Structure 1
């Protein structure tokens, strides 16, 4: 799905936002999928987030959570159970893969499975070098004395 917007003027006047403009131009169709399994995105604080995903019927060893650069991939591979003979199977037990695009400096802290809900904690940790800092303004005389 392409958008009808032309981001070329913005691309010319910005540096390092290529990934953002690519997402806006190409849409998020590759990340939408079929809606399985359902999930919630929760903001727990200024720089803390949580993804809650309904994965009823999956055991921890059947779920894989992988964090790559700016991408979180959650996959579920159900192991076949030949000992059960279902008359009706209403609980989804199919394999899945969910992808989440992560912003810069967002790290996956941990993942836990309880009562059919997978909870993944995310934290944005901006390096000290990237945080705003105050620069002292000195007079020309002080500047010359310090650096010359």
Structure 2
């Protein structure tokens, strides 16, 4: 059984359609192995995606971020060669890879060096969502409260 049936969840939950899309995309991309890549954690809130893209130039690769999904697509250039290739060991086929990004992950930049595409990612949490400490102070007792506090003792 390779299919995951989430329909019972959607009968009683509202707003989990993104979860279904994530499950579908994970199942679809499980068998894709080209091009190979690494995901590294380089700091507390920073990551680096390194993808082997030998034979591709900067103009052959397109990075797009949309709806918390990073799409990396490569289309090899059609350079006419004057030689006959006897053995092709370096794959030069088009590819498309999708990576689901967590909330507040932004792409800082990308560069291509020595056949490796490096994509910098960083978690940037907005100030409004960061935990903040609220100081607890002591306020003077309001006069109305002071009179109310004395009233029960006078009645006794």
Change (3 A) 1:95 1:139: same
Q: TM-score, normalised by structure 2?
A: 0.75
Dislocated runs of 4+, deviation >6 Å: 4-7, 139-143
The answer to whether residue 112 in structure 2 is matched with residue 118 in structure 1 is no
Cα distance, 1:89 vs structure 2: 1.2
Instruction: Provide the aligned length of Structure 1 versus Structure 2.
Output: 139
Partner residue in 2 for 1:146: none
- Mark the runs of 5 or more structure 1 residues left unpaired by the alignment: 144-148
The answer to whether residue 121 in structure 2 is matched with residue 94 in structure 1 is no
Q: Quick one: distance in 2 between partners of 1:138 and 1:19?
A: 43
Which range moves more in the overlay, 28-37 or 58-67? 28-37
Cα distance, 1:79 vs structure 2: 1.4
Cα distance, 1:19 vs structure 2: 2.6
Q: Quick one: distance in 2 between partners of 1:142 and 1:136?
A: 18
Q: Deviations over 1:129-148 (max 9, x none)?
A: 010112334568679xxxxx
Q: State the Cα RMSD in Å.
A: 2.9
Q: TM-score, normalised by structure 1?
A: 0.78
Question: What secondary structure is seen at the aligned counterpart in 2 of 1:2?
Answer: coil
Aligned residue runs from structure 1 range 1-148, under 5 A = 1-3=2-4, 8=9, 12=13, 19-20=18-19, 23-24=22-23, 26=24, 28-83=26-81, 84-137=83-136
- Mark the runs of 5 or more structure 2 residues left unpaired by the alignment: 143-156
